[in-house]
Amino acid sequence: MVHAYSHLWPGVDGGWSRRAAIDRIDRLSRLLDIAFAIPGTRIRFGIEALLRMIPGVGDVAASALSCWVLYEAARLGVPRPLLLRMIANVLVEAIAGTVPVAGDLFDIAWRANRRNVSLLRNHIESGLRAIADMERTSRDFRVGPITTKVRRSKMVPHSITCRRVVTPFLLRTD
């Protein structure tokens, strides 16, 4: 079975897999958004919320760290609409973070990096589901030199798609 996480990044030294990249992004987003908990409550916050408490410089530094998640997602080759949605999440957090106290509370609640990792995982998993559906609904049959595909119990000779006229004799091989 083809697995989207198993493909290596082209041109990257060390051959990191997509799974390793997503796990790395996930760890970073946890550190930025939910690394610490307030005892006795269910409120969690990360380093980004602490950085945003520093006027001016903290907002810029926190947004730069969020941009690293975007950079990693772009390297994974996410589609442009998904990347734009991820950028919008970071922009909303950055703009709201400029308000002194309310922006810090908004940052704790919004968690743009966790949202972006969730979007990234959903995109990868939907691709995996599509591959699994294709593998489940497509079966190969050998007909001498001809391969026939069966899709949802309809037999379609592969030779038709190749624009060759061949009379197929359907023999199943396992």
> Taking the domains of the chain in order of start, what are their residue ranges?
4-134
Confidence of residue 124 (pLDDT cuts 50, 70, 90): confident
Q: Give the sign of the dihedral formed by CA 86, CA 92, CA 93, CA 95.
A: positive
Q: What is the pLDDT of residue 126?
A: 87
* pLDDT range class, residue 147, cuts 50, 70, 90: low
Helix, strand, coil percentages, rounded to 5, for the chain: 60, 15, 30
Mention every residue, 6+ apart, whose C-beta is less than 8 A from residue 63: 90, 93, 94, 97
- Sign of the C-alpha dihedral computed for residues 161, 164, 165 and 167 taken in this order: negative
Given this model, what pLDDT does residue 146 score? 53
Task: Point out which residues pair with 156 in neighbouring strands.
Answer: 149
Compare 108 and 132 and report the one with higher pLDDT.
108
For 78-89, write each residue's pLDDT tens digit.
999 999 999 999
**CA–CA gap between residue 33 and residue 93 (Å, rounded):** 12
Model confidence pLDDT, tens digit, residues 24-60: 999 999 999 999 999 999 999 999 999 999 988 999 9
Q: What does the block give as tokens for 91?
A: 């922009």
Rounded Cα gap, residues 27 and 121, in angstroms: 13
What is the Cα–Cα distance from 72 to 64, expressed in whole angstroms?
A: 13
The residue with greater pLDDT, 141 or 95, is 95
Q: Work out the widest C-alpha separation in the chain, in whole angstroms.
A: 76
pTM over 0.85: no
Q: What angle do CA 37, 68, 53 make, to 5 degrees?
A: 45
Helices 18-33 and 57-76 cross at an angle (nearest 10°) of 160
pLDDT > 70? residue 174: no
153 band by pLDDT with thresholds 50, 70 and 90: very low
Q: What is the pLDDT of residue 1?
A: 43
- Alpha-carbon radius of gyration of the chain: 24
Residues 161 and 146: their CA atoms lie apart, in Å, by 12
